Amino acid sequence: MPIYEYRCNQCGFEKDHLQKINSEALTTCPSCGAEAYVKLISAAGFQLKGSGWYATDFKNGSGKSASTTKAADNASSDSASSSGSSATPTAGCGGACACHPA
């Protein structure tokens, strides 16, 4: 069930209400009792989490998954730090990153 935001135009009271989609809109303010309680329009409140297609297929714009790219970045970073000198830039970073100081 969606959560809807309401505000009273008379007293300014605001509250979220859990309602079915086909339920009637509330009109009576629970704080002052006025018939000035209106539903607000707000942004959707959901967040995509986990390792689904959205995080691995389209996030970085390349054909590789985000986890594969991250592992490759970590490996190149580890090799650069263990050598003690500036490593040659990999194709992914182009040398303009924190692991390749100017």
Q: Note the pLDDT tens digit of each residue in 38-81.
A: 999 877 766 767 666 655 555 555 555 445 555 555 555 555 44
Place of tokens 């830039």: 89
Residue 18 lies in a domain: yes
Residue 54 lies in a domain: no
Domain count, the chain: 1
Residue 30 lies in a domain: yes
* Three-state DSSP class for residue 71: helix
- Containing domain of residue 25, as a range? 3-39
Q: Read off φ and ψ for residue 57, nearest 5 degrees.
A: -95, -40
Strands of the sheet with 14-18, listed across from one edge: 14-18, 3-8, 37-39
C-alpha angle with apex 77: 72 to 78, nearest 5 degrees?
100
C-alpha angle with apex 69: 75 to 91, nearest 5 degrees?
80
Residue 72 lies in a domain: no
- The structure's pTM equals 0.44
Residue 20 lies in a domain: yes
Residue 63 lies in a domain: no
